[in-house]
Structure 1
Amino acid sequence: MTTKALITTDEVSHVAKLANLQLAPSKISKLQTELESILEYVQAVQKAPTDKVPETSQVTGLTNVWREDVVDDSRTFTQEQALSNAKSTHNGYFMVKAILA
């Protein structure tokens, strides 16, 4: 009895083309075999009974440390101070070369 392949050589070729990979036919065949093995493992993992396992969003036990969101005036610059070493300014803003055309 033959089972349907989890991934065909045509699908491997298609994915390689999408990834802009140039693969020799022998490499495609080898990669198909390797991907087939990986997909078989994924299928086995998907069959694992997880109905009694509680859902988790993280497992480290770490929690965030928050601080009050306030402006610390002792750590801020005036506009004049911020622009004082700028090579070029215009109307109170930094002038930089365009990065998008």
Structure 2
Amino acid sequence: MKIDESLILKLEQLSRLQLSASERSGIREDLNRILEMVEQLEELDTEGVAPLTYINEDVNVMREDTIRGQTDRTAALKNAPDQDGAYFRVPKVIPSKTAKK
């Protein structure tokens, strides 16, 4: 399979790109080289070769989730600049839909 101008134009449209003629030419050459490389790989005899699933044999060691180091609400709110006894109070950051610009 060879990459031609019509395929490049279709890819350009699908990807919503606007390429110059020199960019199209460069992409066509690059894609053709990629296809040639894949064709070379297809010539290899892979009979009896197991597929590579993982590069290394490491296993992720998971630990149990434990709750520790909690701060009670009173201590957490003690140094807050503005709080109501249960929550931190912060300035409103999302403007309302009726706010004028």
TM-score tier, shorter chain, comes to 0.5 to 0.7
- What is the total number of aligned residue pairs between the two structures? 94
Ranges in structure 1 where 5+ consecutive residues have no aligned partner: none
Corresponding residue to 1:66 among 62, 67, 87: 62
TM-score (norm 2): 0.59
Residues 38, 83 of structure 1: alpha-carbon distance in 2 compared, 3 angstrom cutoff: farther
TM-score (norm 1): 0.59
Residues 10, 83 of structure 1: alpha-carbon distance in 2 compared, 3 angstrom cutoff: farther
Residues 69, 33 of structure 1: alpha-carbon distance in 2 compared, 3 angstrom cutoff: same
The residue type equivalent to 2:14 in the other structure is L
| Alignment correspondent of 2:72 | 78
Superposition RMSD in Å: 3.4
Q: Tell me which structure has the larger Cα radius of gyration.
A: 2
Taking the aligned partners of 1:40 and 1:80, their CA distance within structure 2 comes to 68
Identical-residue share of aligned pairs (%): 25
Ranges in structure 2 where 5+ consecutive residues have no aligned partner: none
| Alignment correspondent of 1:21 | 17
Q: CA deviation at 1:32?
A: 1.0
| Alignment correspondent of 2:40 | 44
